[in-house]
């Protein structure tokens, strides 16, 4: 048994010396006498004593010199009179043991202050003297040095385990005077078993998804992977843990694919409703919380944006195909605003395209074009650019006309005006043609949400 194995929240409560009431300097005779006394007292029903099982485990530790010395590290050493260590070493160690309280995160900082002073050599020298005092051939010098060297890792592992359950301990992870690599090692020891469980759950979810069971696959990710990732999230944020990031991203991709597949299947079957939309959007939100790769994050965000939040309302029909009254136009504006506010942009372009093919009123078709263009993703930026270019072009044209009028007379200036107007018309016509092409692209009725699938 190494100090790393002992580094749990019960490191002091289950310490063999605490359970038995023996001092760390107890001899073999002291141990035998204490065992007989305690076992007899437990068998007659004495109160306030450990159970027979706890006593048996504690005295089993005492029978192994290596395990005994490991437990000595985490219990009071007392006076150094019979040891040969400087008194300050024993005092520093006992203050470290005394300071620690699993209910108070600040006590960990106080304990670390004392332990850090022992890492410089006082702990190793004490254990070497204890080896000589125990005088057991099973306890060699190399084993003692290994025990001393593993104590910093054990204490950092203890901090990591407590931080996994209580984030108040997380800031104290850096109070230990150890290398960053050792902290990464401690974190990896803590999270690796959890990551293995997450990988198993994600692989099973992927299999269920391949069997066309997106509901079951997503449920597995949400019940198994998400809580485990939430638990280790603050820990892996303290270090560079590439495996944790990869595992989290894999779970996010599987959950995204579940949302896309369920949404597409429901729409094809006509079962897509508001409740299912909320469920699918919730899966997307969870996937966005877990994803760690930027490219996958963009794909998930795109899928979430394109996925409708509800079944779109039927579009209002114009009263006449020749002329459209103001009331119908207001109805059209209200319908488009409602669809956009509901997040159903996926349906907006095909429906407007169909509508444009149905009506013959040129004013109404123009109004539909304007409304359509206002909903294109990058239209606001393009509109601002066009306005700026028109202002610049108009200013340049006005300057040319004035200069021509001043130096060449009225007739040449009028000629310049005609040429400038013709050029502006050609530019406007070319812009309109390009705009119609963009509309045609965005109004493709067969367009479906893209993504990772």
The residue with greater pLDDT, 185 or 104, is 185
Query: Do 192 and 169 share a structural domain?
Result: no
Query: Do 167 and 194 share a structural domain?
Result: no
Task: Give Rg (Cα) of the chain.
Answer: 38
Query: Do 80 and 43 share a structural domain?
Result: yes
What percent of the chain has pLDDT above 90? Answer: 27
Boundary (domain end) residue, out of 281, 306, 331: 306
Would you say residue 364 lies in a domain? no
Query: Do 63 and 29 share a structural domain?
Result: yes
What percent of the chain has pLDDT above 70? Answer: 77
Tokens read off for 307: 């996925």
Question: How sure is the predictor about 102, in pLDDT bands with cuts at 50, 70 and 90?
Answer: low
Query: Do 187 and 163 share a structural domain?
Result: no
Domain enclosing residue 154, as ranges = 3-178
CA–CA gap between residue 83 and residue 76 (Å, rounded): 13
Tokens read off for 262: 């369920």
Would you say residue 267 lies in a domain? yes
- Measured CA to CA in angstroms, residue 373 lies from 340, 353, 423, 430 at distances of 13, 12, 24, 16
Total domain count for the chain? 2
Query: Do 189 and 174 share a structural domain?
Result: no
Query: Do 44 and 191 share a structural domain?
Result: no
Q: Residue for token digits 């202002």?
A: 391
Query: Do 102 and 192 share a structural domain?
Result: no
CA–CA gap between residue 171 and residue 247 (Å, rounded): 25
Query: Do 202 and 124 share a structural domain?
Result: no
What residues contact residue 9 under an 8 Å CB cut-off, 6+ apart? 102, 158, 161, 162
Query: Do 185 and 174 share a structural domain?
Result: no
Boundary (domain end) residue, out of 306, 335, 370: 306
**pLDDT of the residue at 445:** 39
Boundary (domain end) residue, out of 178, 204, 239: 178
Query: Do 174 and 198 share a structural domain?
Result: no
Would you say residue 150 lies in a domain? yes
Would you say residue 379 lies in a domain? no
Residue 138, helix vs strand vs coil: coil
Would you say residue 417 lies in a domain? no
pLDDT at 330 over 70: no
Query: Do 246 and 168 share a structural domain?
Result: no
- In this predicted model, what pLDDT tens digit does every residue of 218-237 receive, in sequence order? 999 999 999 999 888 888 88
- In this predicted model, what pLDDT tens digit does every residue of 357-370 receive, in sequence order? 666 666 666 666 66
CA–CA gap between residue 147 and residue 157 (Å, rounded): 15
Would you say residue 433 lies in a domain? no
């Amino acid at each position: 048994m190494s100090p790393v194995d002992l580094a749990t929240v019960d490191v002091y409560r289950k310490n063999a010396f605490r359970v038995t009431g023996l001092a760390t300097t107890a001899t073999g005779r002291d141990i035998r006498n204490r065992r007989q006394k305690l076992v007899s007292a437990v068998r007659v029903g004495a109160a306030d004593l450990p159970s027979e099982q706890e006593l048996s485990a504690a005295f089993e530790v005492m029978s192994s010199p290596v395990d005994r010395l490991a437990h000595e590290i985490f219990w009071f050493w007392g006076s150094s009179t019979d040891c040969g260590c400087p008194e300050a070493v024993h005092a520093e160690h006992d203050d470290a043991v005394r300071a620690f309280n699993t209910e108070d995160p600040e006590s960990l900082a106080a304990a670390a202050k004392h332990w850090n002073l022992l890492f410089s050599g006082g702990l190793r020298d004490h254990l070497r003297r204890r080896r000589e005092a125990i005088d057991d051939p099973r306890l060699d010098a190399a084993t003692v040095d290994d025990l001393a060297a593993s104590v910093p890792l054990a204490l950092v592992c203890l901090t990591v385990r407590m931080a996994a359950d209580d984030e108040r301990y997380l800031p104290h992870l850096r109070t230990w005077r150890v290398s960053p690599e050792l902290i990464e090692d401690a974190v990896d020891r803590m999270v690796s078993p959890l990551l293995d469980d997450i990988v198993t759950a994600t692989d099973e979810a992927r299999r269920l998804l391949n069997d066309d069971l997106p509901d079951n696959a997503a449920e597995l990710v949400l019940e198994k992977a998400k809580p485990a990732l939430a638990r280790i999230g603050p820990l892996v944020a303290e270090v560079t843990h590439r495996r944790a990031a990869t595992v989290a991203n894999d779970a996010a991709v599987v959950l995204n694919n579940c949302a896309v597949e369920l949404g597409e299947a429901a729409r094809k079957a006509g079962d897509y409703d508001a409740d299912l939309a909320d469920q699918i959007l919730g899966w997307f939100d969870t996937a966005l919380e877990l994803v760690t790769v930027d490219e996958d994050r963009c794909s998930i965000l795109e899928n979430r944006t394109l996925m409708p939040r509800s079944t779109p309302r039927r579009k209002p029909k114009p009263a006449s195909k020749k002329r459209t009254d103001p009331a119908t136009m207001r109805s059209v504006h209200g319908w488009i605003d409602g669809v956009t506010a509901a997040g159903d942009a996926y349906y907006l372009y095909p429906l407007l395209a169909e509508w444009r093919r149905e009506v013959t009123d040129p004013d109404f078709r123009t109004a539909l074009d304007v409304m359509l263009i206002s909903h294109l993703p990058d239209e606001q930026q393009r509109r601002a650019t066009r306005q700026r270019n028109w202002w610049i072009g108009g200013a340049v044209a006005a300057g040319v006309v004035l200069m021509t009028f001043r130096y060449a007379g009225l007739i040449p200036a009028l000629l310049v005006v005609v040429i400038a107007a013709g050029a502006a018309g050609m530019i406007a016509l070319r812009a309109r043609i390009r705009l119609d092409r963009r509309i045609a692209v965005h109004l493709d009725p067969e367009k479906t949400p893209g993504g990772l699938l």
